[in-house]
Amino acid sequence: MCVSWWPTPASWRPRCWRSSPSSRWPPWPADAAGPVDHVIIAGFGLNGRNLARALAEFGVPHVVLEMNPETVRRERALGLDIRYGDCTRAAVLAHAGIERARALVVAISDPASSRRSVRMARELAPDAQIFVRTEHVSEVDELESLGADEVIPAEFETALSLFERVLTIYDVPEDTIDGLVDRMRLENYGFLRSVPRRSAPALPAAADLGSCRVPTGGGAERRGTDRRKP
């Protein structure tokens, strides 16, 4: 979140490629035209892989930047537009067409590299949308200050997922859960940011649970009754 490439001056090649001109590193293709209005995916772990698959399903042009040369060779042989390169380097982002990209998705596990990538991408492409997958809610503010448009913390999404599932077993209406989750996201994760790490979040007062009913004889009723037994 189908792509061709333009010739790249030798001075733009990654340092590792200049120092290792053998077949150890996959070469950078040098096609005549460059990608336009595409998505650059930095990192081909689980998140990057799933995003690339989804973009392919919808015919959205995309290119992947990955630091594992074996992954690059394997996936390129399968037809994926994937490059060996460090997403924190201006030359690599430029070669991927960051100035003409609609979006950059940073899906790598190293927080420092994520920050450098966001800062560099924002300098090169002021109008591109930058999305970052990170581990912790505490990293959101800094990434946004560096230029990220949206930061998705894994711990927050895990909390939301658990939150949704727990409310579901108590028969809270789906539209009520969806509304609460959407509001939490729109508030830019402020709900969980404001909660001390060891505190359990309470339902916001605005959450309308008036239509929530526990059916007689239902599993939720039995579980609730059992908890009150001595």
What does each of the 230 residues of the chain score in pLDDT, given as a tens digit? 444 333 344 444 444 434 333 344 555 555 546 789 999 999 999 999 999 999 999 999 999 999 999 999 999 999 999 999 999 999 999 999 999 999 999 999 999 999 999 999 999 999 999 999 999 989 999 999 999 999 999 988 888 888 888 888 888 899 998 888 888 777 756 655 554 443 434 444 444 444 444 445 544 444 444 433 44
Residues 6+ apart with CB under 8 A from 125: 93, 98, 99, 101, 104
Largest CA distance in the chain: 76
Alpha helices (H) along 105-205: 111-124, 140-146, 154-169, 174-186, 190-193
For tokens 């650059």, name the residue.
40
Structural domains for the chain:
10-134 (3.40.50.720), 155-201 (no CATH)
pLDDT value for 69? 96
pLDDT the model gives residue 211: 46
Q: Which phi and psi (to 5°) does residue 96 adopt?
A: -80, -5
